[in-house]
Amino acid sequence: MNAFSSLFLLLILAVTGMPLQADEDISPPLTISDPYIEMRTGPGNRYPIFNVEDRGKTIRILQRKTNWFQVQSENGKQGWVHKQQMQNTLLPSGSQLQFSEQDRSAFEQRKWEIGALTGEIKNAPLLSVYGGYAFTKNISLELELEHSVGNVSSSDLARLSLLMQPFPEWKYSPFFTLGAGAIQVKPNATLIDPADRNNALSQVGFGLKTYLARRFVLRLQLNQLVIFSANNEEDQNEELTEWKIGFAIFF
């Protein structure tokens, strides 16, 4: 449980809390080619302008948050400048600064995706991590590990799924999954029969992905699971519904 929690929290911090480092080298000085640039006290238009640097002066990039760059001027002042002004600055070679962006088109062409999700299965909270490889922009193969803790038992689940995403270019892109795997259920020690159960399972699912910014994706998913009985009696198969939401990064 601790490993799943740690991975999930690290991904949340990466998306919401930690500053994103600029793709560019922070050491070279950049020369301002616009008449001036405006430096704000924070990364957003709601923050006031406290300093203006004129054409010909140099700045250095310290860090990046989405479309805002924290820079340092020649006299040591630090402030935030929008990407629109930064892309007109010049490198020491005299060429214009270029950004290496992971935009929506990069999302559509991704090869690898990893993520962490949280949700609920059979009224029990769950945490899951997954990794996927895209054969095409519409078809991916995913391996998922999941852990859930309930009042009567805990479970560990592993499954391999085929994901079909017919419209990756849509802002809210639907996808469908079909998979199979295994589940291990561990009853609480207080129960009369605390023996673990290991069963095969199948899964069909539906979900939505939406591109957030740079390398990050928000994912919502609803799955229907069938847990097969160990004695192969069809009337003892168990059907479960689970839902999950979380973040993923692609590359």
Check residues 22 and 200 and name the one with the higher pLDDT: 200
pTM comes to: 0.61
Give the CATH number for residue 30: 2.30.30.40
User: 20 has which bridge partners?
Assistant: 64
**Same domain assignment for residues 118 and 236:** yes
User: 147 has which bridge partners?
Assistant: 127, 156
Query: pLDDT exceeding 90 applies to what percent of the chain?
Result: 52
The structure tokens listed for 104 are 């929506």
**Same domain assignment for residues 6 and 125:** yes
Q: Which domain holds residue 57?
A: 24-86
Mean pLDDT, residues 189-213: 82
CB 87 within 8 Å of CB 108: no
User: Is the per-residue pLDDT at 241 higher than 90?
Assistant: yes
Q: How far apart are the first and last CA of the chain?
A: 27
CB proximity list for 28: less than 8 A, separation 6 or greater: 60, 91, 92
Say how many C-beta atoms besides its own lie within 10 A of residue 81's C-beta: 21
Residue 146 within a domain: yes
User: Is the per-residue pLDDT at 116 higher than 80?
Assistant: yes
